[in-house]
Chains A and B, each alone.
Chain A
């Protein structure tokens, strides 16, 4: 008897499932497992595909609207074929799709902002369903001597592309000179809101996020350029900004 090549033996059940799912993931290249009715196997393939398609179209309505139907369907087919999404949780499927996009090269005929737009589209749901709660507001006036931190329900974002403006009629093919800075925040009515930020506000929020617990004054002193002509004015404006963020609940006591 010939020596068989050494390979791990698969149980019949494992083999059955592998043959079955290989076809579902790649129906154009993989044959329908022997003995199974082709029409009914295509029903399964259609159910798997349409379910994932409708979930992802729900997560990424802007991308869906920018792609032709054919291209969007092809991208979903590629996702199913090439990517093993691990999360058992349906609201997390959008994040799996972003991993998939980030591991793959954006094609020439796809918008260059695809990954950034996908990220932007996913952040609203992420905050909407976040289990974090709002901090209880603390007494007025306390802000000057409280250590600050960023609310877990607030996320400062920066994108090369103005993802918040992209639509069918506005699809920049190159990043503009200036990046876009945004704040996405779940307010105390549990509504998610987006704000455009000037660079300086973005930097302030990032600094507080990276290094929480300092006083308002300390963050502002760190941010104030050494040769600033009017450091007092800078501090005053900065305090006003911090108060506003604080009042809205974007900044909280650390």
Chain B
């Protein structure tokens, strides 16, 4: 059995629709799984048992959706406490959320863009700090895809750096989001990755996306990973090391074989990279 206190290698986003075929027979290539706790908290019955079986076999990390850490409405303490319990139950080595908001007094269940302002930096950093205090551990925050910038007093890279520094949190670096944003907002994705706080990157996300007729990209997690994103991943590994990397696929799920070939592609890239500073996979706390 793999140690549940840390995770490494290549992982797969775990959806309800694939758990039934996986829990008794986890393919060797999959080193860890990731779930949205908001899909699994207080889930018993068959699904609950299957998830427990999975987290007894391989590390399960968590990637939240509903915390609205950038929102202006009160943090949902009850949710945070339930996440804490969930992390304990599954000995999850990591909890991450999005650098965005989803709540306007009610849930919109989507990742809405924050303005890149000083005010937003302080606001979101203080909320991340509160969450980390309740959880008693550091969390990771993910760079999201965004289609508009409500206000721009600094660059996205400056915004992310400022939040991570002020909140003293980790970064979940989503390579696909970097690529999507670099196209939609015309910037150099490699330059952006060079600007990220390398020592804070806890792990990496990979995904596919949807390109509209005129080149505008919508981040759907519903397609295969494209070549430029693979190249960007290789670039990132070369820069900051072969960090644990998760393949996200939320819609149009293909056969497991296709998912595994993408997982193996991640692993091949990881193997072909030397760890530049002899660094080991990050573990929370």
Q: Measuring CB to CB, which residues of chain A are less than 8 angstroms from any residue of chain B?
A: 11-14, 16-18, 20-22, 24-25, 33, 36-37, 39-41, 43-44, 47-48, 51-52, 55, 80, 83-91, 93, 127-133, 186, 190
Contact across chains for B119 and A13 when beta carbons are under 8 A apart: yes
The 3 A-B residue pairs whose C-beta atoms are closest, nearest first, are A84-B106, A88-B66, A131-B44
Q: Interface majority SS on A: helix, strand, loop or mixed?
A: helix
Stretch from B6-14, B34-42, B188-196, B235-243 contacting the other chain: B34-42
Contact across chains for A83 and B106 when beta carbons are under 8 A apart: yes
CB neighbours of B150 from chain A (8 A):
16, 20, 33, 36
Contact across chains for B76 and A133 when beta carbons are under 8 A apart: no
Task: Name A33's closest neighbour in chain B (CB-CB).
Answer: B150
Contact across chains for A52 and B147 when beta carbons are under 8 A apart: no
- Cα A13 to Cα B76 in complex, Å, equals 19
CB neighbours of A186 from chain B (8 A):
45
Q: Measuring CB to CB, which residues of chain B are less than 8 angstroms from any residue of chain A?
A: 36, 38-39, 41-49, 65-67, 71-72, 76, 79, 101, 104-110, 112, 114-115, 117, 119-120, 123, 147-148, 150-151, 216, 218
Contact across chains for A128 and B46 when beta carbons are under 8 A apart: yes
- Cα A88 to Cα B150 in complex, Å, equals 25
CB neighbours of A16 from chain B (8 A):
115, 150-151
CB neighbours of A89 from chain B (8 A):
38-39, 41-42, 66
CB neighbours of A37 from chain B (8 A):
147-148
Known A17-B72, A85-B106, A86-B107; contact A131-B218, beta-carbon cutoff 8 A: no
Q: How far is the CB of A242 from chain B (nearest CB, A)?
A: 26
Contact across chains for B148 and A44 when beta carbons are under 8 A apart: yes
Task: Name A11's closest neighbour in chain B (CB-CB).
Answer: B119
Task: Name B105's closest neighbour in chain A (CB-CB).
Answer: A84
Contact across chains for B44 and A88 when beta carbons are under 8 A apart: no
- Cα A92 to Cα B148 in complex, Å, equals 30
Task: Name B119's closest neighbour in chain A (CB-CB).
Answer: A13
Contact across chains for B148 and A128 when beta carbons are under 8 A apart: no
Task: Name A10's closest neighbour in chain B (CB-CB).
Answer: B72
Known A18-B104, A86-B106; contact A131-B148, beta-carbon cutoff 8 A: no
Contact across chains for B115 and A41 when beta carbons are under 8 A apart: no
CB neighbours of B47 from chain A (8 A):
128-129
Contact across chains for A129 and B72 when beta carbons are under 8 A apart: no
CB neighbours of A86 from chain B (8 A):
106-107
Known A47-B218, A186-B45; contact A90-B120, beta-carbon cutoff 8 A: no
Contact across chains for A91 and B106 when beta carbons are under 8 A apart: no
- Cα A51 to Cα B150 in complex, Å, equals 22
CB neighbours of B65 from chain A (8 A):
88, 90
- Cα A12 to Cα B123 in complex, Å, equals 11
Task: Name A129's closest neighbour in chain B (CB-CB).
Answer: B43
Contact across chains for A44 and B110 when beta carbons are under 8 A apart: yes
Known A33-B150, A44-B112; contact A131-B106, beta-carbon cutoff 8 A: no
Task: Name A192's closest neighbour in chain B (CB-CB).
Answer: B45
CB neighbours of B218 from chain A (8 A):
43, 47
Contact across chains for A129 and B44 when beta carbons are under 8 A apart: yes
- Cα A51 to Cα B219 in complex, Å, equals 13
Task: Name B78's closest neighbour in chain A (CB-CB).
Answer: A88
Contact across chains for B148 and A12 when beta carbons are under 8 A apart: no
Q: How far is the CB of B208 from chain A (nearest CB, A)?
A: 16
Contact across chains for B108 and A21 when beta carbons are under 8 A apart: yes
Contact across chains for B107 and A85 when beta carbons are under 8 A apart: yes
Q: How far is the CB of A132 from chain B (nearest CB, A)?
A: 7
Contact across chains for B104 and A88 when beta carbons are under 8 A apart: no
Contact across chains for A131 and B110 when beta carbons are under 8 A apart: no
- Cα A86 to Cα B106 in complex, Å, equals 5
Q: How far is the CB of A238 from chain B (nearest CB, A)?
A: 31
Q: How far is the CB of B27 from chain A (nearest CB, A)?
A: 25
